[in-house]
Amino acid sequence: MARITAGVTSSHVPAVGAALDLGKTADPYWQPLFAGFEASKRWMAEHTPDVVVLVYNDHASAFSLEVVPTFAIGCAASFPPADEGWGPRPVPVVEGHPELAWHIAQSTILDEFDMTIVNRMDVDHGLTVPLSLMFGQPARWPCKVIPLAVNVVQYPPPTGNRCFQLGKAIRRAVESFDADLDVQVWGTGGMSHQLQGPRAGLINREFDTMFLDRLVADPEGLAQLPHVDYVREAGSEGIELVMWLIMRGALAPDAREVYRFYHVPASNTAVGHLILENPT
């Protein structure tokens, strides 16, 4: 059977992708950020999965604001990088895993999560920046990726608890897929950031540290946090953090923290990153 071996969380700041693509990773501003992901790339080289279920949000790139699915799973064979206004990122096309994606769609929908099925989709910085941070700049991504897009752009987003429960349903789905596959689940976005209005630039290290600690040790409790607390404490875009609870729900309650990194500044965002391993 397929199994979930590990989970990763990471912010997805678009300027991080631009810094990589334009060869600026050694600039004094960016160097400490990329240095924090060196250990992650080493870990990943030893733990490259067959498939990543990559939870992210589309930023009005694939869906526009005409149709906003709450949860959408990419079942296509491939997903090109999106043109977000300055041409697509020069990164490899993302290869999907249609068989596992359709199985997760079937399993979660019959488990009463109303997934939208997506058969064609471009993927934006929300998905490609975490891939770059974890894999660097390879000619091909070293594993298949199933995009799972969550609405955190248009009110109302799903609750933290709904996300946590969806993670558990994804675990049931993966563990009932009859193939010997090593699967990771990634949750992206966050941490504290607000991109507009009088509070633009808001960073809240105390909240972010609490979120990292409780995501590891008390995810059931953390899943009860209401939306208003995310927005007040972590800024309007801090709501992206509900996606991290999907990753956490997909892992075992006693999953082990093997790496943590937190860094400010990176554009307007506090960059947070965790690697969790499931017990073997």
227 is catalytic: no
97 is catalytic: no
Secondary-structure percent of the chain, ordered helix, strand, coil, rounded to 5: 35, 20, 40
215 exposure class (CB count in 10 Å sphere: 0-12, 13-18, 19+): buried
Q: Pairing mode, if any, of strands 144-150 and 51-56?
A: parallel
Binding mask 152-191 for ligand DHB (x = CB under 6 A): -------------------------------------x--
Query: Residue with structure tokens 């895993």?
Result: 97
Closest C-alpha to 227, from 238, 218, 213, 215: 238
- State yes or no: residue 59 binds ligand DHB (CB under 6 A): yes
In the bound state with ligand DHB, the residue whose beta carbon lies nearer, of 240 and 277, is: 240
Catalytic site residue from 97, 103, 193, 263: 193
Please pick, from the candidates 9, 194, 236, 268, the single residue that binds ligand DHB as defined by CB under 6 A: 268
In the bound state with ligand DHB, the residue whose beta carbon lies nearer, of 145 and 234, is: 234
Binding mask 60-89 for ligand DHB (x = CB under 6 A): ------------------------------
38 exposure class (CB count in 10 Å sphere: 0-12, 13-18, 19+): exposed
Per the CB < 8 A criterion, the answer to whether 10 and 188 are in contact is yes
Q: For the beta carbon of residue 72, count every other beta carbon within 10 angstroms.
A: 22
- State yes or no: residue 14 binds ligand DHB (CB under 6 A): yes
- Closest separation between CB of residue 174 and ligand DHB, Å? 27
117: three-class secondary structure by DSSP = strand
Residue 126 backbone phi and psi in degrees, to 5? -55, -30
- State yes or no: residue 15 binds ligand DHB (CB under 6 A): yes
Please pick, from the candidates 58, 208, 237, 277, the single residue that binds ligand DHB as defined by CB under 6 A: 237
- State yes or no: residue 10 binds ligand DHB (CB under 6 A): no
Sequence-distant (6+) residues with CB within 8 A of 269 are 11, 13, 190, 191, 192, 193, 203, 237
- State yes or no: residue 58 binds ligand DHB (CB under 6 A): no
In the bound state with ligand DHB, the residue whose beta carbon lies nearer, of 237 and 277, is: 237
- Closest separation between CB of residue 142 and ligand DHB, Å? 25
Catalytic site residue from 12, 125, 263, 273: 125
- State yes or no: residue 269 binds ligand DHB (CB under 6 A): yes
- Closest separation between CB of residue 219 and ligand DHB, Å? 22
Q: What is the CA radius of gyration of the chain?
A: 17
Identity of the amino acid at 107 = S
Please pick, from the candidates 2, 6, 8, 13, the single residue that binds ligand DHB as defined by CB under 6 A: 13
Per the CB < 8 A criterion, the answer to whether 277 and 215 are in contact is no
Q: Contact region for ligand DHB (CB under 6 A) — 20-28, 209-217, 254-262, 266-274?
A: 266-274
Catalytic residues: 125, 193
Kindly list the residues in this chain that would bind ligand DHB in the complex (CB under 6 A).
Answer: 12-15, 59, 189, 193, 195, 237, 267-269
